[in-house]
Amino acid sequence: MPNTPMNLPFSQACENNKQPIFEKLSQIFNQSEHILEIGAGTGQHGAYFAQQMLHLTWQCSDQPHYLDGLNLRIAASKLANLPLAVAADVANPSEQLLQQRFDGIYTANTLHIMSKALVARFFALAEQLIKPNGSLCIYGPFNYQGQYSSDSNRDFDQWLLARDPNSAIRDIEWVDQLATAHGFVMQQDHAMPANNRLLHFNAIASAAQ
């Protein structure tokens, strides 16, 4: 995996998509104060978005074994609105995370990595952590009416299944049903570069009420 000159974890895909995603998030989160990123990975999105949206605090999170590299990037960014990442295993969230509430939640390229059971747990966790009327934004590839939106997504899905039979590009209809069951309403389905989407949901009811 290529690294930055500072030898930090690096994803070329994050570099490619951060600006198009920011253009949407800057509108969605323009009145937000506290954002949780689930599955922050290398931290490139968190560092970039926090730098561009100084009005909010961007809280990165990921599974415990990713935190060291993630926190290296956060420390290197020296941004007051980008605190150190917290552990966030969707299957077993930390008490540190569960004690917080957020008016926005963001995740990128995670739902197709999780099993279907974990995707369901993701929405249950989001319902618990988000404040009423908060925004939930999910970036990644999705299928529509059981069909791939591109040949590249079909190839990617085959790669996912070969790597882990529990992972797969998810059907948008199923994702929307899960979201609805956990108190979220779809606001917009944004087309993004490289055959990806940015789904924007709003929390009309949550455990935080």
Query: Is pLDDT of 147 > 50?
Result: yes
Instruction: Give percent helix, percent strand, percent coil of the chain, each to the nearest 5.
Output: 40, 25, 35
Look at residues 125, 130, 67, 43 and name the one whose alpha carbon lies nearest to residue 92: 125
- Model confidence pLDDT, tens digit, residues 44-86: 999 999 999 999 999 999 999 999 999 999 999 999 999 999 9
pTM attached to this predicted model: 0.94
- Model confidence pLDDT, tens digit, residues 1-15: 333 446 899 999 999
Per the structure block, which two tokens stand in for 87? 């552990």
Specify the pLDDT at position 104: 98
For the chain, domains (ranges, CATH) are 12-203 (3.40.50.150)
As a whole number, the mean pLDDT across the chain is 94
Identity of residue 158: Q
Contacts of the segment 79-83: beta carbons below 8 A, 24+ positions apart? 79/47, 79/50, 79/51, 81/50, 81/53, 81/54, 81/56, 81/57, 82/46, 82/47, 82/50, 82/51, 82/57, 82/58, 83/57, 83/59
Q: Are 190 and 200 in contact (CB under 8 A)?
A: yes
Instruction: Give me the sign of the Cα torsion angle 104, 62, 77, 107.
Output: negative
